[in-house]
Amino acid sequence: MASDTKPKPSPQAALQAQRDRWPGTAQAEPESVGLSSDALVRAAAALREEIACGRLPGAVALVARHGRIAWFEAFGRLGPDDDAPMRLDAIFRIYSMTKPLVSLAAMMLMEAGRLRLDDPLSQYLPEFANPKVARHDGRSGGPMRLEAVLRPITLQDLLRHTSGITYEFLGAGPVHKAYREARLGDPRRSNAQMCELLATLPLLHAPGERWGYGHSTDVLGRVVEVVGGQPLGAFLRERIFEPLGMLDTGFHVPPAERQRIAEPWDVDPDSGEPVRLLDPRRPPALEMGGGGLMSTASDYARFVQMLIDGGRFGSTRLVGRKTIELMRADHLGAIPVSSPLLPPGHGFGLGFAVRTQPGIATTPGSVGQYFWSGIAGTTFWVDPQEALYAILMIQAPGQRVRLRQMFRSLVYAAIDD
C-alpha cells in the first residue's frame, strides 16, 4: 500500500533550505541602512584599481548593517591563470580567520560545563605539564637557558594568546629557530602529534607575561578534540557549520566545488618572492585550529551575524549572549603588547582583537569593535556601536596589511547617518 508520508529532504537540501530562510541574506539599498551608495561606488573603484595595477587577481567585498547586506560584490578574476571572473561564492583560504570559529567551539564546551577558562592546559593535554620558558642573558647571540614557569598555561592563555607559544615566522631567535626546525605545520601530522611535538619546545615568554601571537589556537583545537570526543573538523561541522548553514566551510574543498577556489599570483608583485599557500584540494591530517579552514564571504557572514545577534542564529542559539560579550571584551588589561600584529589602541579578547580606545589607531572605528584577519589576505570586523560588519576576501599575502587598512577606511567613509 502506498504511503502518503512525504519523503524527508536530504541533509544537504535541509541545510540549503535553512540557509535560504536566513533573514541576513536579505539585500538592502545602502541608504536604507544609513550607508552612502556613492561612497560604496568609490570603494568598489578603489578595489578595481588595485586589480588593474596587478596588486591582486580578484576580491569579494561584503558589508552589512542592521542585519542586512548593503554591498556584496565580486571583482577581477578567480586567479591569475583563470579567465573565469571572480564569483560571489568563491572559496578562499581564510587562515587565521579560523581562530574565532575554534574559539567559539571552546566556549560552547565551557557553556556545557566541560571545561573552564582557568583550567590548566595540562588537565587536557598532559604533555604540557612542565613547560619551560627561554631566557637570555641580554647579549646579542648569547646563550639561551630554560627556566620553569611560575604558573601553568591556562585555556584563557590559549584564547587570548598569552601562553608563550609563538609562531616560527615571527622572529629569528633560538626559539623561533627551534619551531622552524620542528616543522610544526606539516599537514601529514595529526593535531595530537603536532601538540606532542610543540610541548617539547621552549616558550618564548612565560604564561601571562605578555601578548604573543602563535600556535595557541592550534593547541586549543586539540583541546576541543579531546573534550568534544571527535576530530576538530567534525566538531566544527556538527556544532557550528551545519547549524549556521555554512555549507562551503571546511578544512578542504571537495572535488565538485574546486572550480570555485580563488588563487593568488604565483609571484608576489611587490617582493618578487614565490607565493605558497595551503593546498585546499587535499584533506590534511592536521586540521589546524589556528589557520586551516576554507570558506566563502557569505558563509563567514553567517558566523559574524550570529556574533552580532549575541550567539543566536534565527531560532537556534549556539551560545548565550553573555558568552559572546565575554569573547569580545578585552582580556589583556595591563599585560604588555610588543607586536605590530596588534595595533595601538587595541587589546585582545577570546579569539579576536578588540578596540579599546577611539584614537591612537590609524584606522577609523569604535570602542568595542572586534576583528581578525588571515595571512593570505582575508579580513573581517564587527562594529557593535554602528551595527556594522564587513568582510574582504582576497588571496594576496604581500598586500594584505595595506589593503585591509584601505578597505576599513573606505567602508567607514560610507556611514551616512
Assess whether pLDDT exceeds 80 at residue 170.
Answer: yes
Domain ranges of the chain: 24-98+232-412, 104-228
Contacts of 27 (CB under 8 A, 6+ apart): 68, 69, 70, 72
- In which residue are the cell numbers 557550528 written? 240
Our measurement of the distance from residue 56's CA atom to the centroid of its chain's CA atoms, rounded to an integer in Å, reads 21
Which one, of 51, 115, 36, lies nearest residue 417 by Cα?
36
Q: What span, in angstroms and rounded, lies between the C-alpha atoms of 389 and 378? A: 14
Percent of the chain predicted with pLDDT > 70: 92
Assess whether pLDDT exceeds 60 at residue 254.
Answer: yes
Superfamily of domain 104-228: DD-peptidase/beta-lactamase superfamily (3.40.710.10)
- Span 53-76, pLDDT tens digits: 999 999 999 999 999 999 999 999
Q: What is the pLDDT of residue 338?
A: 76
Q: What is the mean pLDDT of residues 90-99?
A: 98
- Span 383-396, pLDDT tens digits: 999 999 999 999 99
pTM across the whole model: 0.92
The fold adopted by the segment(s) 24-98+232-412 is Beta-lactamase (3.40.710)
The answer to whether domain 24-98+232-412 and domain 104-228 are alike in fold is yes
Which one, of 102, 18, 28, 86, lies nearest residue 388 by Cα?
28
